[in-house]
Amino acid sequence: MIYNFEEELRRAPKNWGRWGKDDEIGTLNFVTRDHILRSLMTARTGKTFTLGLWINRKEGDPVWIGRRPTVHLMTKDEGTYISGKAEPRPGGGKSADDIVIMHLQGSTQVDALGHYWKDNTLYNGFDSRTTIGGLAKDDVSKLAERGILGRGVLLDVARHKGKGSLDKGEMISFSDLLDTAKEEGVKINKHDIILVRTGFLKTFYEKGPNEFYKDFSEPGITYERELVKWFYENEFIAYGSDTIASEQTYSSTLGIMLPLHIFFLNYLGLPIMEMLWLEELAKDCAEDGQYDFFFIASPLKVIGGTGSPINPIVIK
């Protein structure tokens, strides 16, 4: 391994206390009215893209191992009227209604800051026992009060590397990110929202679940001292990728699973967005050469939620 985990835990930047001891929204504190107005100027053509995955596809939905795909069930539909179990309203009105049973982290989604922690302490110092029965602290409803808005930048690493999709378990290095930005000609600004494309998520649909889950190991960025410093110093507002966990599953630098979940969510209070669908957006950016845009993700205000499904919107 390149790093010693314990030493990095001591050295890594941390935003605890930065916005007071009650803060539960972390880097969303960087979002100011000026920031919003400046970010809006990145919308130059009016083109829009939605980055949410389909939920309840016949072919199945990708989910992290142990989670179950969403179940969608009708409580009322035309069948209800055909069978005489419901009468149309006077005037003839009929309606359909339905229920979903879904993991809050079961599709394109944002992690609440309290979704992941180390030992016994959530982001900003809250006791991890507050997660029991529903996150009393650092839950997703706090992020949802604000929404996630700002200038987004797409770093299309798969394209930069000339691959349809990165390989299983492939590490994206910090210099890969910088090289990608350079090749794209995009300037990265303070308070940006960083989106990294691996091309990996689409292999679920292209190759099928069996191949996707076989020796499951996602590609992505992972802990590097310079990378985390870059996120910290640039005060990025949020980060996302097109894999289920948005980082290299088994870190090439630390030898453990998902260390950025600790350094981003827990240390920096930086929301991670997962399972972003970046295909159409990436194609368009490659065509028009514009890799920045106004980005909006709006999680649901689920009290106690560890995350929320989102369908982010990009306006170029």
Q: What's the closest the beta carbon of residue 186 comes to a second copy, in angstroms?
A: 21
- d(Cα 266, Cα 62) in Å, to the nearest integer? 25
Span near a second copy by CB under 8 A; candidates 13-21, 49-57, 168-176, 186-194: 49-57
Identity of the residue, 2 or 303, whose beta carbon is nearer to a second copy in the bound complex: 303
- d(Cα 107, Cα 310) in Å, to the nearest integer? 8
Candidates 242, 218, 220, 203; CA nearest to 168 is 218
Write down the residue that tokens 């260390």 correspond to: 259
Question: Does the protein bind a second copy through residue 14 (CB under 8 A)?
Answer: no
Candidates 132, 129, 110; CA nearest to 120 is 129
Q: Please give the residues from 207 up to 226 whose contact with a second copy meets the rule CB under 8 A.
A: none
Per-residue b/e over 44-69, b at no fewer than 16 CB within 10 Å?
A: eeeeebebbbebeeeeebbbeeebeb
Are β-strands 109-111 and 307-309 bridged in parallel, bridged antiparallel, or unpaired?
A: antiparallel
Identity of the residue, 176 or 192, whose beta carbon is nearer to a second copy in the bound complex: 192
Q: Among 1, 2, 257, 286, which residue interacts with a second copy (rule: CB under 8 A)?
A: 257
Q: Please give the residues from 85 up to 144 whose contact with a second copy meets the rule CB under 8 A.
A: 85, 88-105, 107, 114-120, 128-136, 141, 144
Q: Among 11, 18, 72, 190, which residue interacts with a second copy (rule: CB under 8 A)?
A: 72
Question: Does the protein bind a second copy through residue 169 (CB under 8 A)?
Answer: no
Q: Among 171, 196, 227, 258, which residue interacts with a second copy (rule: CB under 8 A)?
A: 258
Question: Does the protein bind a second copy through residue 249 (CB under 8 A)?
Answer: no
Say if CB 140 and CB 285 are below 8 A apart: no
Q: Among 1, 2, 71, 286, which residue interacts with a second copy (rule: CB under 8 A)?
A: 71
